[in-house]
Amino acid sequence: MTGAAKASSSTITITGTSFDVALDAVVVYQGVESDSATIDSDTTITATYTKGVPVSSAPQAISVSFIPKPSGGRRLSLADSNSLLVAAQASAVVMENALSVTSSTSALTCSFQGGCPYTVTSAGLFATLQNSSADSISVCGRTCEIDDGASNADQVTCKLPFLSTAYSASTYEIVTSDVIHAGTWTGTASDAELKKLTDGKNPDDYTDSTASDCYF
């Protein structure tokens, strides 16, 4: 393998020499296995990611493995058995696929209950969110649940979370009542500031003069 480049929002083209067209290929990028990979010729492989080529903040290595073509119609993967592996291609070939957000839903109106669709147009973002526990879309501090059926290689659609405010809690019972503090608070704030921690108001209006981060 001598090179790799993103050919479209859902495909990667890999170049090299002596690729065997009688075999199937499996391509792994950013830890995500391709949904399919076609050995077009002895010098070219096309890997397809139906949810989009995963994004990366820096150049990442690509691995290519060669396995026998299936005899029963089902495409094999690396998870089937290591004994199916004909050859593993390890090289220093890397590729970068930087995150690029071209647009997102604007002027969206929704209820406090949430559930409205919010779309971010960004090639490969869907694949990344589907395969990473560390990445997510957050709206007002809460995770926006991905709608798999409405997302594709070019965009991600999620369902807005409910919005918890003093008004929505008291009027629409968005949240249930509970103890909002426990234990002992220590800090440098005045009594007037400390009272804001338990006054039932949601705005983050508490201030503290310490240089390090403070959490409540």
For residues 201 and 139, give the distance between their C-alpha atoms in angstroms, rounded to a whole number.
20
Place of tokens 């004909």: 86
Residue extents of the structural domains in the chain? 3-95, 100-204
**Measuring CA to CA, which residue among 126, 154, 156, 158 is closest to residue 139?**
158
| pLDDT tens by residue, 99-109 | 999 999 999 99
Q: DSSP code of 113? A: T
pLDDT for 133 equals 85
**Both tokens assigned to 37:** 């990979």
Average pLDDT, the chain: 83
Decide if pLDDT at 58 tops 70.
Answer: yes
pLDDT for 69 equals 77
Q: Please check whether residue 127 is in contact with residue 32, taking contact to mean a CB–CB distance below 8 angstroms.
A: yes
**Measuring CA to CA, which residue among 152, 106, 99 is closest to residue 127?**
152
pLDDT for 83 equals 46
pLDDT for 23 equals 85
Q: Please check whether residue 65 is in contact with residue 87, taking contact to mean a CB–CB distance below 8 angstroms.
A: yes
Place of tokens 């039932």: 200
Distances (CA, A) of 133 to 60, 188, 207: 19, 36, 32
CATH class label, 3-95: mainly beta
